[in-house]
Copies of this chain bind each other. A is one copy, B any other.
């Protein structure tokens, strides 16, 4: 093994009779610009000399690490890890490695993570943003890194973005329940302000039920049992056929058990929500779910990013794309 330290990328290039750039391309798996014969020759020499690439050296020459940062708003959400899996599935076919960062549901922390990403040799960023400002993102990153957003929009659309059709999905679900005789809707959500997905979902419900009730809660401090007791009592008193609509899976999974435990669900009190696991629906026949496709959203974001990375020249930022992946209701 000691011997392998003496071998460097120049030795490989010289022995193979190719440029250093060609060896570097080979090391990063970008084989599209070389013949099979060249690739085989480089591979043989690498094996012969027992060469272990030094990533720093390769990076200095190519300014290319092969690493893509994927930043989730909160990795504890199933949505986050699924869109990461989707992104990685595409990135690796293009010989990139995706690694996951956690913004920990904290905008200041997200800013610091972005600064770290900007300083390190990441080739690109796929991000589910907490911040609503692309100006803030740019400032934190400090350099011009290819970026694709997932799940949420920013106030200006300089980045390509992959989202669910939040407004349409929420409106269609509201129409479904209206057609089935539901008279009253209670939305349970984290605060709507500043998060594009929540605002769009609320607008969708409101387009059908103008007098929708909104309960804004803090996901980390919700007193689920008390909330359910109160809510069930109110619904009974009103005597209206009611739908409780959760905007976030984790809130639904925290609160729903108390509806189930009280056996409070019926044709007169039904639940729905955006959810990425089937658990809630398995628990009670009066629950229907709106399922996003986070894996496909991540994969699509990765496709957009890879297209930017492999395009010649600087990407045209005026040309930001927005791709909508529909949610399904069942």
Interface residues of A (CB under 8 A from B): 52-53, 55-57, 59-60, 63, 65-67, 69, 75-76, 78, 80-82, 84-85, 88, 97, 99-102, 104, 113, 116, 119-121, 142-143, 224, 253-254, 257-258, 260-261, 277, 279, 282-285
Contact = CB atoms under 8 A, between A and B. Distances in A.
B84 A102 contact: yes
Nearest to A104: B85
**Residue from the set A53, A56, A76, A121 with the largest chain B CB neighbour count within 10 Å:** A56
A67 B253 contact: no
A119 B66 CA distance: 11
A113 B60 CA distance: 23
B120 A55 contact: yes
A155 to B, nearest CB: 23
B282 A283 contact: no
B142 A52 contact: yes
Nearest to A76: B81
Contacts of A282: 224, 254, 257-258, 261
A119 B67 CA distance: 11
Contacts of A65: 56, 120
Given A100-B100, A257-B279, A52 B85 contact: no
B82 A76 contact: yes
Nearest to A112: B92
Given A76-B81, A88-B102, A254-B282, 13 more contacts: A53-B119, A55-B59, A55-B120, A55-B121, A65-B120, A69-B99, A84-B100, A99-B101, A100-B100, A253-B277, A257-B282, A257-B283, A261-B282
User: Could you say how many copies of this chain the assembly holds?
Assistant: 2
A10 B65 CA distance: 23
A56 B99 contact: no
A100 B97 contact: no
A323 B224 CA distance: 35
A195 to B, nearest CB: 21
A97 B116 contact: yes
A85 B261 CA distance: 31
A38 to B, nearest CB: 21
Contacts of A52: 119, 142-143
A66 to B, nearest CB: 8
A67 B120 contact: yes
A104 B84 CA distance: 11
A253 B279 contact: yes
A102 B298 CA distance: 15
A120 B119 CA distance: 16
A145 to B, nearest CB: 12
24 contacts: A52-B143, A55-B119, A55-B121, A56-B60, A56-B121, A59-B59, A60-B60, A75-B75, A75-B85, A75-B100, A76-B81, A81-B102, A84-B100, A85-B104, A99-B100, A100-B100, A100-B102, A224-B282, A253-B279, A254-B279, A257-B282, A260-B260, A261-B282, A283-B283
